[in-house]
Homo-oligomer: A and B are copies of this chain.
Amino acid sequence: MRPPNTGVGGASTINDVARLAGVSIKTVSRVMNDEPNVRQETRDKVQEAATLLHYRPNLLARSLAGSRSFLVALFYDNPNPAYITELQKGVINRARGSGYHLLVEPQDSHAPDLARQITNLLATIRLDGIILSPPLCDMAVVLQAIEAAGVPYVRVSPFLNPDRSPCVRMDDAQAAYELTRKLIEMGHTDIGFVLGHPEHGGAHQRYEGFVRALREDGMEPRPEWTRQGYFSYESGVEAARAILAPGTKHPTAIFASNDYMALGVMAHAQQAGLRLPDDLSVAGFDDAPGALRTWPPLTTVRQPVEDMAYAAADLLLNRNDAGADQDRMLPFALIMRESVRAR
């Protein structure tokens, strides 16, 4: 018996619109959801009434009654703010157009009860889809929990079981290969490598591409110039300290698996008295935004994170398009800057 609400401060309901348009609420529902089988005339009448009343369908009611929640979530456990925000941007850009909203759900990948937490979350909110980024996208317990709940998901840059779900990725191995080729072409034969976080897919593939390029020229990676890193600046410093240990021969170039580590390498090298890029060339990976404001500017690979996230959301929201491409490989770009110099 509530009067139709046309004023500020309260939403009007589908009932108000139906009454004003002189149709049933079901017809309003049809119009709002762009369903077929409504006469154009009726459609216009409803649209007009809806506009007049500033009607916006209530998302929660739609979710409860229908089969869609208009909610997608991004699961991540990654300390890299630039990566996270780019992912979010990509997802939101795609989702908004379809009336979807983004829930951000950072997860602790080392929590012992991670699976239970995810199960609880999915029982609490019926999500229309989940986007998984490394390292969560490669954790069996996570995939199991999501699959058990029957929620569709897309993985970004996974390295395990690529066929288990739709995936979006770039060719990390090829990118590392091409960048390494460049280094070789520029006269570098002694190249160090800083490995990425072993739990993150791209890391392995980047190393693989590096090795492939070396072998093509009959070279092998040298163990003393290959160090484990963890995608952090500090681990880059650490690795550089080992690779550039005083009193040992050191490489003419170091390829770090991501930009933060490359920055760490550069910082250590400079403090160790090496001049960049003359004494040492450094290359990174990711094209991290803040990471390029250094001197000399860093040679790197642009990883299209935002585009991958957009594509992931697209895969999620177009899921019905039968048999469409369930996987997308996005292009990378080599970005040659001054941190690399020919010998």
Residues of A within 8 A of B (CB): 8-11, 54, 56-61, 63-64, 69, 81-82, 84-86, 88-89, 92, 99, 101-106, 119-120, 123-126, 148-150, 233, 260, 263-264, 267, 270-271, 288-291, 293-295
Q: Can you add 5 more A-B contacts, CB < 8 Å, to A81-B289, A101-B125, A267-B293?
A: A58-B124, A60-B125, A101-B103, A103-B103, A264-B293
Complex Cα–Cα for A9 and B99 (A): 26
The 8 lowest CB-CB distance pairs between A and B, nearest first, are A56-B123, A81-B85, A81-B81, A290-B290, A11-B123, A81-B82, A60-B63, A8-B148
Complex Cα–Cα for A119 and B56 (A): 10
Determine if B105 and A104 form an interchain contact, defined as CB atoms under 8 angstroms apart: no
Determine if A61 and B59 form an interchain contact, defined as CB atoms under 8 angstroms apart: no
Q: Which residue of B lies closest to A74 (CB)?
A: B104
Determine if B102 and A103 form an interchain contact, defined as CB atoms under 8 angstroms apart: yes
What would be 10 A-B contacts, judged by CB atoms less than 8 Å apart? A11-B123, A56-B123, A60-B126, A61-B64, A81-B84, A102-B103, A233-B293, A260-B290, A260-B293, A267-B294
Complex Cα–Cα for A56 and B126 (A): 11
The minimal Cβ–Cβ distance linking A64 to chain B, given in whole angstroms, is 5
Return chain B residues, CB-CB under 8 Å to A57: 124
